[in-house]
């Protein structure tokens, strides 16, 4: 199992990515920072794009959500279980963000010589282009592009992403033991698809300390990306 990255590694990795794109074509860089939408049925002159605030509004809501519930971590009389529940919720919420991986993906597209795109897609093994609907699909594409341009961001995100933990939380298929978050997965008979078969991967538990560390990583990642995105946008101000 890969070790979780330190805060310093996360910050350096994000800074390295944005430093690599800072000197590229200004129009392309702007399109990689500001979401656009070509499919709303709005008639535009050739070469023009419609700027949309939907992804950034979603991101601002996530940041407000993280800030509000993060304050609960300092509440007096909070139990260890309550602390872990809040950090687990925030970890999953951050990793579900669509703006964060798309922002990273577009920086990697620039470095790959590809045009920025705010419709996150991938090519299937059969050559079909499809939308990356789920986080794991987005992260796989990021890891692939990262490796191609020798950027470490894909590896860092993949080490922080725990798909089974996310699934357990969002499907309410877990409980807290004395020191572990225990995904029930195939342990429960209620939704077991294959009788008598229990996946070790789905049954893997996460210690409270591991959840704390995952929250730390996700929190540092989203804060650093928010900061670098803001700084990059400010370079376009007159």
pLDDT tens for each residue of 218-232: 999 999 999 999 999
Helix (H) or strand (E) holding 50: strand 50-51
What are the domain boundaries of the chain? 7-234
Higher-pLDDT residue of 192 and 147 is: 147
pTM score: 0.91
Q: Is 122 in contact with 130 (CB distance < 8 Å)?
A: yes
Q: Which of 183, 172, 173, 179 is nearest to 205 (CA)?
A: 183
Cα distance between residue 208 and residue 70, in whole Å: 17
Cα distance between residue 120 and residue 28, in whole Å: 17
Tokens of 9: 């590694």
Q: What is the mean pLDDT of residues 135-146?
A: 97
pLDDT tens for residues 6-64?
A: 999 999 999 999 999 999 999 999 999 999 887 665 565 665 668 889 999 999 999 99
pLDDT tens for residues 76-106?
A: 888 999 999 999 999 999 999 999 999 999 9
């Amino acid at each position: 199992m890969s070790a979780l990255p330190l805060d310093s590694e996360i910050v350096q990795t994000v800074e390295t990515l944005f430093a690599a794109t800072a000197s590229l074509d200004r129009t392309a860089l702007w399109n990689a920072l500001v979401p656009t939408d070509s499919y709303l049925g709005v008639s535009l002159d050739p070469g023009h794009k419609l700027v949309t605030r939907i992804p950034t509004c979603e991101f601002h809501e996530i940041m407000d959500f993280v800030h509000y519930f993060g304050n609960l971590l300092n509440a007096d009389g909070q139990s260890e279980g309550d602390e872990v529940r809040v950090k687990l919720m925030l970890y999953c919420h951050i990793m579900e963000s669509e703006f964060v991986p798309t922002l990273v993906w577009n920086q990697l597209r620039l470095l790959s010589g590809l045009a920025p795109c705010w419709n996150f897609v991938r090519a299937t093994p059969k050559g079909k282009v499809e939308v990356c609907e789920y986080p794991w699909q987005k992260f796989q594409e990021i890891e692939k592009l990262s490796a191609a341009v020798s950027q470490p961001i894909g590896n860092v995100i993949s080490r922080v992403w725990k798909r089974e933990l996310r699934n357990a939380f969002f499907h309410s298929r877990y409980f807290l033991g004395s020191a572990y978050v225990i995904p029930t997965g195939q342990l429960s008979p209620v939704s077991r698809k294959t009788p008598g078969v229990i996946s070790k991967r789905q049954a893997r538990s996460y210690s409270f300390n591991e959840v704390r560390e995952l929250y730390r990583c996700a929190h540092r990642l989203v804060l650093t990306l928010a900061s670098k995105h803001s700084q990059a946008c400010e370079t376009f101000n007159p």
